[in-house]
Amino acid sequence: MAGLLTPLTTWRGRITALLLVLLGLLPWYAPWLDAAGIISQKFALTLMTRVLILAIAAVSLNLILGYGGMVSFGHAVYIGLGGYTVGIMAHHGVQDGFLQFPLAIGLSALLALAIGALSLRTRGVYFIMLTLAFAQLLYYVGVGLEAYGGDDGLTINRRSDFAGLLPTRGLDKIVAFYIVSFVVLVLVLWLVHRLVNARFGMALRGTKSNETRMQALGFATFHYRLAAFVIAGAICGLAGALLANHTEFISPAMMHWTRSGDLIVMVVLGGMGSLFGPLYGAIAFLLLEEFLPSLLRLVLTWLHGGISAVLGGAAIGTLDAWLRLAEYWQIALGTIMILVVLYARGGIDSLFGRPRHG
Amino acid sequence: MAETMLKVDSLVKRFGGLVATDSLSLDVRAGEVHALIGPNGAGKTTLIAQLSGFLQPDSGRITFDGRDITLLPAAARVRLGLSRSFQITSVLRDFTALDNVALAEQARQGHSFRFWRSARADRSLRAPGRAALEEVGLAHRADDPAASLSHGEQRQLEVAMAMACDPRLLLLDEPMAGMGPEESARMVDLLRRLRGRRTMLLIEHDMDAVFALADRITVLVYGRAIATGTPAEIRANEAVRTAYLGEAESG
C-alpha cells in the first residue's frame, strides 16, 4: 500500500491523481455542472468519453513512439480495423461484445504484426512512409467496401452487448459507457506501466536509446520492437472497438492519415515517453479542438467591443466580420503546438515538474 | 599449447577501392590477452566490427570455438560468448550506470519477453550489475545517469558492460581512448586483474599498456597482419620497427 501512495509525495503525482479522480467521478458531478448551467451533462459525458477513448489510442502509440522511438504515422489504422470489426459484425447481427472485442483486438494485433514485420526493417523517414502507406492502403480498402457503406460509412444500430450488463438506452447508456471507457483506460495505463518497467520495457527503451549497443549486449532488438508494435496495435484496436460503440458509426475517416497525425500530436503535446503524457495530450488536444472556436469568439467579441468603444464602430468593421476570424481557430491550435515543441520539450507532462527516476 | 578460441581465415573487407581488411588471418588462444596494434587506418576497428557481427566481410571465415560464425548476427554472437566494447563510447545515456550493466546481465540471462515484474526491482539483475560496477570502480556512481559520468567513467562503464555479458572472448576496442594518465593506469590495473580469467583481444594505442598486458601481439598495417608474436618478438621484429614502432618513436 505504501508503494501505491508514494506518487502522492510529488506535485506531478498529485496532479495526475487529481486528474484521474476528476475523470473517474465525472458521472457523479456532471448533473451538478448541468444544474449550474455550466455544461450539459450529456454533452460533457459524450465529449469526455471520446477523450478517454482517444487517450487509450494515444497511450498505445506512446508505447512505440515514446518508449520505442518508432514514429508510426499510420496508427489510426488500428482504430479503423477495431471499429470495422465491431461495425461489420453488428451489421451481420453479431452483437456479442465478448466476440466482437477479442476479435477486434486480435485482428489489430495480426495487422500490426504484418505491418511491423515489414516496416521495422527500415528506419527514419522510410519507416514513417511505410506505416503511412499501409494505413492509407487500408483506408482505401474501407472506401472500397461498398457493402459496408464505402466512403459514407456504416451506422451501427446496436452497440456491443456484454451479456446485457450495460444499459442500452438514455442517459444510463451514456454514463455506463463513460465508466467502461474510464476503466479500460486505467487498465491500459496500468498495463503499459508494467510493460515499460519490466525486462521487456527495459529492452525496448534501451533500443530506443542506442540500438547498436543493445545488439552488442546480445539483444535481438528487432523482436522487441516488433512485439511492442503488435501490443500497441492490439490496444489501439481496442480503442477502435470502443470508438465505434461510442459514435455508433464507422467510416474510413476513422483511419485517415490525419487521424494518425492527431494521435502523434496528442502524444507529443502531452509528453512522449511519459506514462500519463498521452492522456494529458488527448485532453488538451480534443478540448482545444472543441472549445477553441468559441473561446476565440469570446475574445474577439470582447476585443471588438473595447476597440470600437475607443475608435468608433465604423472604423474597424462589423462584429460578424471579426467573428469569422474564429473560423481560423486551427491557426491558434498550431501556434500552441509550436510553442509546446519549442518551449516544453517534454510536453504538458514536463510542466508538472521533473519525473523522479524510473 | 592452449586451444584456439577464435580463428580468422583470409578475411577480406573492401570499401570501394580501399581494402580495409586484406586476407587477414589471425588466431586467439583460450586464456590469452592478444593485442592488436597498428597505425591509424590499419583496419583494427573494421576487424572488430567484423568479428562482432556489425559488418559483413566480403570473403573469408571467422570461427569461434570451432563454429563458423561468419554470417551470425551480432546479438547471436554475444550469446555464444563473444562481446565487445566500443572505441567511441556507446553507453545508454538516458539510463543510470547501474541500469546499463543490469541490461547486460538481463541479456545474458536470456530473452527479455517478461512483461510484468519490474526489472529495476529484480535482485537477480541488480546484484550482478552492482558487482560489475564494483569491479571497474564505478560503484559510487551506480544511480547517476550515464550521460552525467565523466569521459573516463563512461569508458569504465563501457568495459563493465562488455564484461557483464560474461563473455569467453572480450573484444576491447581502445578501452583507454581519451583517458587521462590516472584513469589509464586504473584501466590497465583492471585488465591485469582480468588477465587469465578472460580471453581478450585488445586494440590499444598505448604501447606501455599493450606491452604490459599482452601475451601475444599482432601488428596490422593496411589491413594486413605483418607479424604475430610475443612482445619480445614483436619488439625485435624489423618489419614492425620500420612500419610502426619507428613511426611512433619519431612521432
What angle do the packed helices A277-311 and A11-24 form, to 10 degrees?
A: 80
Please indicate if any CB of chain B lies within 8 Å of the CB of A209.
yes
**Mean pLDDT, chain A, integer:** 92
Could you read off the pLDDT of B31-85 as tens digits, one per residue? 999 999 988 888 999 999 999 999 999 999 999 999 999 999 999 999 999 999 9
Residue the block writes with cell 620497427: B241
- Of all residues in chain B, the one with the smallest CA distance to A196 is B115
Residue A123: which CATH number? 1.10.3470
Q: Quick check: B73 and A220 CB within 8 A?
A: yes
Residues in B closer than 8 angstroms to A200, CB to CB, are: 112-115
> Can you say whether residue B228 is alpha, beta or left, with left for phi > 0 and alpha for psi between -120 and 50 degrees?
beta
- Of all residues in chain B, the one with the smallest CA distance to A207 is B92
Q: Quick check: A198 and B92 CB within 8 A?
A: no
How far is A219 from chain B, CA to nearest CA, in Å? 5
Q: Quick check: A200 and B112 CB within 8 A?
A: yes
Q: Quick check: A219 and B91 CB within 8 A?
A: no
> Which H or E run contains A326?
none
Residue the block writes with cell 521495422: A120
- Domain assignment present for residue A331? The answer is no
The DSSP result for A265-294, as a single string, is: HHHHHH-TT-SSHHHHHHHHHHHHHHHHHH
Please indicate if any CB of chain B lies within 8 Å of the CB of A214.
yes
**Chain A stretch 165-204, residues whose beta carbon is closer than 8 A to a beta carbon of chain B:** 194-195, 197-203
Distances in whole angstroms, Cα of residue A214 to Cα of each of B46, B103, B184: 19, 8, 26
Q: What is the pLDDT of residue A354?
A: 65
Could you read off the pLDDT of A222-263 as tens digits, one per residue? 999 999 999 999 999 999 999 999 999 999 999 999 999 999
> Which H or E run contains A15?
helix A11-24
CA atoms within 13 A on the CB side of A164: 0
Alpha-carbon distance of B121 to B142, in angstroms, equals: 14
Chain B residues within 8 angstroms (CB to CB) of chain A: 52, 54, 73-76, 78-79, 83-84, 86, 90-96, 99, 102-104, 106-108, 112-120, 122, 125, 143, 161-162, 165
What is the Cα Rg of chain B in Å?
A: 18
CA atoms within 13 A on the CB side of A149: 14
Please indicate if any CB of chain B lies within 8 Å of the CB of A207.
no
- Domain assignment present for residue A326? The answer is no
Backbone angles phi, psi at B16, to 5 degrees: 60, -125
Q: Quick check: A212 and B108 CB within 8 A?
A: no
| Inter-residue contact B141 to B133 (CB < 8 Å) | yes
What angle do the packed helices A41-65 and A221-247 form, to 10 degrees?
A: 170
Range of weakest confidence among A163-177, A319-333, B115-129:
A319-333
- Domain assignment present for residue A301? The answer is no
| Inter-residue contact B11 to B25 (CB < 8 Å) | yes
Residues in A closer than 8 angstroms to B102, CB to CB, are: 202
Q: Quick check: B93 and A195 CB within 8 A?
A: no
When divided into structural domains, chain A yields a total of 1
Residue B251, pLDDT above cutoff 50 = no
Distances in whole angstroms, Cα of residue A263 to Cα of each of A53, B137, B152: 11, 45, 42
Q: What is the pLDDT of residue A352?
A: 82
How far is B116 from chain A, CA to nearest CA, in Å? 5
Torsion sign across C-alpha atoms A190, A195, A199, A203: negative
Residues in B closer than 8 angstroms to A224, CB to CB, are: 112
Q: Give the number of other Cβ atoms within 10 Å of residue A326's Cβ.
A: 18
Q: Give the number of other Cβ atoms within 10 Å of residue A88's Cβ.
A: 19
Alpha-carbon distance of B35 to B209, in angstroms, equals: 10
DSSP strand pairing (B33-37 vs B199-203): parallel
> Which H or E run contains B34?
strand B33-37
| The domain over range B1-81+167-251 is classified in CATH as 3.40.50.300 | yes
Alpha-carbon distance of A234 to A236, in angstroms, equals: 5
How far is A266 from chain B, CA to nearest CA, in Å? 23
The domains of chain B are located at 1-81+167-251, 94-165
Q: What is the pLDDT of residue A66?
A: 95
pLDDT level of residue B213 (50, 70, 90 thresholds): very high
- Of all residues in chain A, the one with the smallest CA distance to B96 is A357
- Of all residues in chain A, the one with the smallest CA distance to B80 is A218
- Domain assignment present for residue A110? The answer is yes
Q: Quick check: A218 and B52 CB within 8 A?
A: no
Residue B182, pLDDT above cutoff 90 = no
Q: What is the pLDDT of residue A351?
A: 84
| Residue type present at position A349 | D
Most confident of A127-136, B80-89, B154-163, B171-180: A127-136
Alpha-carbon distance of A158 to A250, in angstroms, equals: 13
Q: Give the number of other Cβ atoms within 10 Å of residue A123's Cβ.
A: 12
Average pLDDT of the segment spanning B84-99: 94
DSSP strand pairing (B59-64 vs B67-68): antiparallel
| Residue type present at position B221 | V
| Inter-residue contact B106 to B112 (CB < 8 Å) | yes
Alpha-carbon distance of B103 to A67, in angstroms, equals: 16
- Domain assignment present for residue A264? The answer is yes
Range of weakest confidence among A269-273, A314-318, A325-329:
A314-318
- Of all residues in chain A, the one with the smallest CA distance to B94 is A209
% of chain B exceeding 90 in pLDDT: 73
Residue A358, pLDDT above cutoff 80 = no
> Which H or E run contains B106?
helix B97-108
Q: What is the ipTM of this complex?
A: 0.89
Which residue range(s) make up the domain with A162?
39-290
| Residue type present at position B177 | A
Q: Give the number of other Cβ atoms within 10 Å of residue B243's Cβ.
A: 20
Alpha-carbon distance of A335 to B31, in angstroms, equals: 63
% of chain A exceeding 70 in pLDDT: 96
Q: Greatest CA separation found in chain B?
A: 62
| Inter-residue contact B56 to B50 (CB < 8 Å) | yes
Average pLDDT of the segment spanning A338-355: 82
pLDDT level of residue A4 (50, 70, 90 thresholds): low
pLDDT level of residue B250 (50, 70, 90 thresholds): very low
Residue A175, pLDDT above cutoff 80 = yes
Could you read off the pLDDT of A133-159 as tens digits, one per residue? 999 999 999 999 999 999 999 999 989
pLDDT level of residue B11 (50, 70, 90 thresholds): very high
